[in-house]
């Protein structure tokens, strides 16, 4: 066999495992959503809590109960106080993980990207096309709202064109409208604040200045913004 015909079994195994993990996560969360609907939960927060806790397993008799607890019972819902790093900007030169699957993104987002500035810069580095590729099927439950919060809290005029590209790509992902409808009230407010900031940014970014030199360039920016306002259901 020629060198190009050699199969990389390790890469195939890694890709298969990531696909299995993503599929198991989807089935687990979907089952939790159905249970929550059947139970007629009283609020969105209760519904969200059931879904985010779907990965937990009941304790068995052999499990030791008591003693000092050093790990949060549910890392998906427990939020600690913001660290000092969150009050400082992350260097634009810092390199963040480059996931190849949605499962890897979810893992990195939870494990490594803890602060708002880190999440914001990671989204910018990935960019719209990469995010669209990662989430062709679906954006994991809760992720869409968290992404919008990170963008809203740290968006800058120089990044406006890139942020618009990220928003356009997220709007083209699978089950976008469903994920949009499941956002919490606070996440919806962050989404609205994000678009207000984008609309208020008068000075064009370097990419937008390049567009300004092209026929209809600035109209393209405004047209994209109006389209996104409709897709994200922002009044």
Q: What is the pLDDT of residue 62?
A: 53
Going by pLDDT thresholds of 50, 70 and 90, the confidence category of residue 55 is: low
Give the single-character DSSP code of 47.
Answer: H
Residue 188 inside a domain? The answer is: yes
139 and 234 part of one domain: yes
143 and 218 part of one domain: yes
Range of the domain at 133: 88-235
Collect contacts of 17-21 with beta carbons under 8 A, ≥24 apart. 18/100, 18/101, 18/103, 18/104, 19/101, 19/103, 21/103
Whether the per-residue pLDDT at 84 is higher than 50: the answer is no
125 and 206 part of one domain: yes
124 and 41 part of one domain: no
Digit-coded pLDDT (tens) for 86-103: 444 444 556 776 888 888
Closest CA to 202 of 160, 169, 167, 148: 160
Residue 136 inside a domain? The answer is: yes
128 and 197 part of one domain: yes
Residue 3 inside a domain? The answer is: no
**Angle in degrees, 0-180, between the axes of helices 44-52 and 9-38, rounded to the nearest 10:** 150
Give the single-character DSSP code of 91.
Answer: P
93 and 171 part of one domain: yes
Only one residue has tokens 């079994």, namely 9
Collect contacts of 152-156 with beta carbons under 8 A, ≥24 apart. 152/190, 152/191, 152/193, 152/194, 152/197, 153/116, 153/120, 153/190, 154/116, 154/117, 154/120, 155/120, 155/194, 155/197, 155/198
51 and 153 part of one domain: no
Q: How many domains does the chain have?
A: 2
140 and 48 part of one domain: no
Residue 65 inside a domain? The answer is: no
Whether the per-residue pLDDT at 139 is higher than 70: the answer is yes
41 and 112 part of one domain: no
Stretch 67-93: mean pLDDT, rounded? 45
Distance of CA 72 to the CA centre of its chain: 22
108 and 224 part of one domain: yes
189 and 126 part of one domain: yes
Across the chain, what does the average pLDDT equal?
Answer: 76
135 and 230 part of one domain: yes
Stretch 209-223: mean pLDDT, rounded? 61
Going by pLDDT thresholds of 50, 70 and 90, the confidence category of residue 25 is: confident
């Amino acid at each position: 066999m020629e060198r190009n015909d050699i199969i990389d079994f390790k890469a195939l195994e890694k890709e298969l495992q990531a696909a299995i993990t993503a599929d198991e996560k989807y089935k687990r969360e979907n089952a939790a959503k159905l249970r929550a609907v059947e139970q007629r939960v009283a609020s969105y927060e209760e519904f969200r809590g059931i879904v985010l806790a779907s990965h937990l397993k009941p304790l068995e008799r052999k499990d030791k109960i008591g003693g000092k607890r050093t790990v949060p019972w549910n890392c998906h819902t427990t939020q600690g106080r913001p660290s000092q790093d969150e009050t400082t900007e992350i260097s634009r030169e810092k390199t963040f993980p480059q996931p190849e699957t949605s499962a890897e993104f979810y893992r990195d987002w939870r494990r490594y990207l803890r602060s708002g500035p880190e999440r914001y810069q990671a989204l910018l580095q990935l960019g719209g096309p990469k995010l669209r590729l990662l989430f062709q099927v679906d954006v994991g439950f809760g992720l869409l709202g968290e992404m919008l919060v990170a963008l809203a809290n740290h968006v800058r005029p120089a990044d406006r064109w890139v942020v618009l590209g990220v928003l356009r790509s997220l709007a083209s992902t699978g089950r976008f409208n469903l994920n949009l409808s499941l956002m919490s009230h606070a996440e919806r407010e962050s989404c609205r604040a994000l678009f207000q900031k984008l609309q208020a940014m008068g000075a064009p970014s370097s990419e937008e200045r390049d567009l300004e030199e092209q026929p209809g360039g600035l109209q393209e920016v405004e047209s994209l913004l109006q389209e996104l306002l409709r897709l994200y259901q922002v009044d």
